[in-house]
Amino acid sequence: MSKIYLKAMEDVVQRNTDNTNRITEQAQGFVVSENAGDSLLHTSFDLTTAQSIVKHLHASFLKLAQSCVRDLDTDDKLCFLRVKTRKHEFLVSPEEAFTVTVVL
């Protein structure tokens, strides 16, 4: 089951190569991770950097942000998250099955 699922995700990544190429023209890079197990799906960074972003940003901080929004209003939902730092900016888009982070 898990292998079939990951295979389907890889097919989606293949079909969106044009989009990801366009992203990397404007940004430093991107990271796509699966929501269920917080595993790395696709990235333009090296593996260490991508795993670090998935671990700290997707698995930990994004979940906290989503729970904050849910606590404030149970009908509300987090659609987009921007974290601006001194060096770069993280644009996080949480979707149903996966999460995309673009680093500007």
Partner 1 sequence: MSAEIEDLLKRYQNYPNVSGIIILDPFAIPIKTTMEYTLTVHYAALISTLTYKAAKMITNLDASNELVTIRLRTKVHEVIVLPSENYIIIVVQNPGT
Contacts with partner 1, residue ranges (CB under 8 A): 52-53, 56-57, 60-61, 64-65, 68-69, 71-73, 75-88
Q: Which two tokens stand for residue 57?
A: 């940003």
Phi-psi region at 29: left, alpha or beta (left = phi > 0; alpha = psi -120 to 50): left
CB nearer to partner 1: pick between 20 and 93: 93
CB nearer to partner 1: pick between 20 and 51: 51
Helix (H, G, I), strand (E, B) or coil at 67: helix
CB nearer to partner 1: pick between 32 and 92: 92
Distance in Å, CB of 5 to partner 1, minimum: 27
Estimate to the nearest angstrom the gap between the alpha carbon of 102 and the chain centroid. Answer: 8
CB nearer to partner 1: pick between 6 and 91: 91
Distance in Å, CB of 57 to partner 1, minimum: 7
* Beta pairing class for 29-34 and 98-103: antiparallel
Distance in Å, CB of 73 to partner 1, minimum: 7
Measured distance between the N- and C-terminal CA atoms of the chain, rounded to whole angstroms: 35
